[in-house]
Structure 1
Amino acid sequence: MSRQPSQQSSQLASQPSDSSQLTFQPTREKRLHLSSAAIESAREKLLTFQKAREEGEEVNEEEEEGYTGSREITIKENVPLEEYLRYRENNMNTSVRMYLCDGKIKIYEVPSAPHAEVAGAIIGFMSIWNMQDFRYGTDATTTLGRGSCREPDVYVRPRHRPRPQQGAPAADRYGNAFPTMMIEVGFSQSLPDLHRTAIRYLGQQTTIQIVLAIKIFGIRTNALTNTSTIALIAALYLRTSPTPLVPTRVISFGTANPDTNTVNYITQQMNVPPGSFVGVGRPDPNNNNNNFPPCNAANIPTYTMNIPGTELFDGVPANHLPAGFPIVPNTLPVGFAAGFNLDLYELQVVVREALNI
């Protein structure tokens, strides 16, 4: 009889207590959930901005070609950066493009042939120009600040650009250096949305030097002539400019003149000087203010956008710079130092073929 209590106590001692069970239970990390219905609703709305419009057709203000508001759709707020990054790693939604801006998840674009093929063409042209010194990529999640990140349509990073030192901002969780150039192509998103994106890319948390924004407007159809035309805008931003948040060059390169509201937004809100906004539908001050020639062939100087070599190779050690560096003072740069000349007519052809116009 005297042994029973000791056996019971021994059995009790061998059993784990409630507190020890709680200690070893795995904790579940909070997972971000985005409603598929909200994503689909945003997608359907953004698709309306890609539709062809008959000239003179009345549409809602947000659907107008020259709309100067934002078309981005916020689907969730107060989202921590780490939570969003974890979501993107596990949920690469291909039906829409989204990003995190100051803790808000915004949907801004629907993938399409013209959008994708313009981005692909730029990579192809630049790769032909220089493949050995650069890495070209798409859709890599890039951190832009404490509560912001985005996947660019195209990025260009010098192979020998040093990784940031420990503690300095990096482009991603792998510690990569920021690209020197970001390229954004907008079809659903408005021109102001693209402009604000360029400003974010050139923020103090990054070392991005160049942003190229390409805006594809909607197709204009003319029932009387059975023709279709389209306006296209390219805007180049340089961190080294005295006014980095104002494009150094804006070129209209479509088959239609830009909308009046678009012109006013570029000159009055983006503050682009008239002489820096050239191309289709724009007056040429060197030709009695007659309009610039149409963008209807390759190698027309007006429709060539130079991407400067100095900014493209920013941060690359001298022993890894190609021929043409250093640039001799008071002389024009040569070789790769002269940069890359993007023929916008070639992009116009890509857009017209993708849209079958």
Structure 2
Amino acid sequence: MIDGNVIAYEVPLSDHGAVVIKFAFLIHEWDDQLNQIVEEDLVLEDTSHCTADLTIKPRDLPRPRPGHESNSNGGPYQTLVFEVGTTEAVSSLHDLSARYFSPQTTIQIYIAIKLYPIRQDNTRAMFAMRYLRTNQHPTVLDVVISFGTAPLHQSVIGYLLNDMSVPDANITGVGRSDDAIACNGPSIPDYQLNIPAAELYNGSLNGIPPNAVDGFDLDLWEIQRKALNPHYY
């Protein structure tokens, strides 16, 4: 519900759900002490709440003070929200950043994956977006990585640059330069999306685990493989 109106932005097809579960699996392998909830309802503002694809937080967050609960269960807000858009427009995914980082919440990280339809040559464009509450401009993307098997359409690049005010240097990956490395295997440095530990463990009573100080690197090749083969990988 947004500003009192019930709105559905996404049709959750198999590739949508498969990518959500893949991300949940990867970050669970990295730290199994992070709590993960799929399709969690979040209070974002007085007249708005949203059902997030996936939320993640440390298990030891203290209970919030009255009036600052994430929903009617009374728990604290998550530190990370993960969304996937297949039918959902980039503009809709972007608009969620202001709501997730509203004064009501303590959400620190918002990651969104946009998947475009498979093309006639069986390639597919896709890109990852990262927002951090701790940035000077939290609702301006600080990382955009094109990681599909096809480049982003120039109209998408134009929208990111002109409508969303993303600095050109922040948009990297497939199709962004003549010498751009393909996202065609695991552990390629250009396709590691870092999720910083300070924000991910914000508010944790036990702090950042010693093995997590560098944050979690999401290997976007793993996400690409799952998006291309939701039933088989």
TM-score scaled by length of structure 2: 0.96
In structure 2, the partner of 1:114 is 15
Counterpart residue identity of residue 133, structure 2: R
| Greater C-alpha radius of gyration | 1
Q: State the number of aligned residues.
A: 232
| Identity %, equivalent residues | 34
Structure 1, unaligned runs of 5 or more: 1-99, 222-226, 284-289, 325-334
Q: CA deviation at 1:291?
A: 3.6
How far does the alpha carbon of each residue in 1:140-183 deviate from its partner, in whole angstroms, 9 at most, with x for none? 111111111111111001111111112x3210112110000000
Higher relative contact order (CA 8 A, sep 6+): 2
Report SS of the residue matched to 1:104. Answer: coil
How far does the alpha carbon of each residue in 1:43-74 deviate from its partner, in whole angstroms, 9 at most, with x for none? xxxxxxxxxxxxxxxxxxxxxxxxxxxxxxxx
In structure 2, the partner of 1:249 is 143
How far does the alpha carbon of each residue in 1:160-216 deviate from its partner, in whole angstroms, 9 at most, with x for none? 1111112x3210112110000000000011111111112211111111000000000
Q: From the two aligned structures, give the one with the greater helix fraction.
A: 1
| Cα distance in 2 between the residues matched to 1:163 and 1:255 | 44
Report SS of the residue matched to 2:9. Answer: strand
Tell me, yes or no, if the aligned pair for 1:135 and 1:157 is still in contact at 8 Å: yes
In structure 1, the partner of 2:78 is 179
Whether 1:306 and 2:194 are equivalent positions in the alignment is: yes
Q: CA deviation at 1:135?
A: 0.3
Counterpart residue identity of residue 116, structure 1: G
Tell me, yes or no, if the aligned pair for 1:198 and 1:213 is still in contact at 8 Å: no
In structure 1, the partner of 2:59 is 159
Runs of 4+ in 1 over 6 A off after TM superposition: none
Among 101, 104, 127, which residue is 1:205 paired with? 104
1:1-357 matches, cutoff 5 A:
100-132=1-33, 134-166=34-66, 168-221=67-120, 227-283=121-177, 290-317=178-205, 320-324=206-210, 335-354=211-230
Structure 2, unaligned runs of 5 or more: none
Counterpart residue identity of residue 308, structure 1: P
Q: CA deviation at 1:355?
A: 7.9
What is the root-mean-square deviation of aligned Cα atoms in Å? 1.3
Counterpart residue identity of residue 128, structure 1: E
| Cα distance in 1 between the residues matched to 2:212 and 2:162 | 35
| Cα distance in 2 between the residues matched to 1:111 and 1:341 | 25
Tell me, yes or no, if the aligned pair for 1:280 and 1:291 is still in contact at 8 Å: no
